[in-house]
Amino acid sequence: MARLVYELSFKGVASDLLCGAFDGCTVRTAQGITVVRSEVADQAELQGLISRIHALNLELLDLRLVAEPSSADSWAVAPIDDTSE
């Protein structure tokens, strides 16, 4: 099964204290946006991350799934080769 990783971004630059609220996640900031990246076991854990952002009174800007499929996954698709034209 593919490892599924989610990225959630919110407005503002997270302080060290705020980054501590996302222990176990990778947190990075750039251009006034903070991105929290985390492997999520299930939908309840994902909802927990979203709830944490709202509880901290942060403005959620984006939520995206980053899939890292292995070759054994039946839905994995090879990248399109645009150089053949």
Backbone angles phi, psi at 16, to 5 degrees: -60, -40
Sheet holding 33-39, edge to edge: 26-30, 33-39, 3-11, 60-68
Residue 54 has pLDDT above 90, yes or no: yes
Whole-structure pTM over 0.75, yes or no?
no
Q: pLDDT tens, 3-53?
A: 689 999 999 999 999 999 999 999 999 999 999 999 988 889 999 999 999
pLDDT at residue number 41 = 85
Task: Extract the tokens encoding 56.
Answer: 């901290």
